[in-house]
Amino acid sequence: MGRFYTPYVQPRRGALVGDAVYFTVRRGNAIVKYDLGKDRLSMIDPPQHCLVHGIAVTAVENYTSLGFTCIQDSTLHTWSRKGDTEETAEWVQYRVIELEKTIPVTNPEDERSVVGFAEGVGVIFVCSGAGLFMIKLNSGQVKKVDEPGEYFSVLPYMSFYLPKTGNGGGHDATDLLHST
């Protein structure tokens, strides 16, 4: 790493689970936990087998548990943190998806990388030299959603709402969809 290397919080989407916000640090994929209620900062080690680039922390199980996703070789691994207390919590692997046949690589040196997730719907985004792909974790279904490019952090747009005002101004989403 060099003697001048400084760990930093990765500029990627974090996860909100209960009263805590989680982010990853770009040195061994350590996870920073900031407990909003206790105003306390702590570190969590990632699953032992996920010391690779291209990871995501997520909220799983109705936002009650911390999730972790990574790719090793050609396999997507998803983990969930289980335990009654911070001291007894451990990572439990809950899904493994083989990507070899579903997400192509255009160059043997190409790497697949986790670049984002859609909160609340169980979707992970993975990029390769062949494009950007969406994976539904409950079914393993894969869909190409964009062409090849430089992807670092995908923040999917899920929905919107523009409230109507009492004076007749403003529109709701239905009005906008019908007018376009």
Name the nearest CA neighbour of 97 among 127, 140, 49, 47: 140
Tell me what pLDDT residue 173 has.
46
Q: pLDDT tens-digit profile of 41-71? A: 998 888 876 656 678 888 887 778 898 888 8
76: which strand partners? Answer: 71, 97
What average pLDDT does the structure give for the chain? 79
C-alpha to C-alpha distance for 56 and 77, rounded to whole angstroms? 11
Higher pLDDT, 104 or 169: 104
101-110, 123-132, 153-162 — most confident range: 123-132
Each as own residue / partner, the long-range contacts of residues 8-12 (CB below 8 Å, 24 or more positions apart, any chain) are: 11/152, 11/153, 12/56, 12/116, 12/152, 12/153
Q: What is the mean pLDDT of residues 10-19?
A: 82
Q: Where are the domains of the chain?
A: 15-179
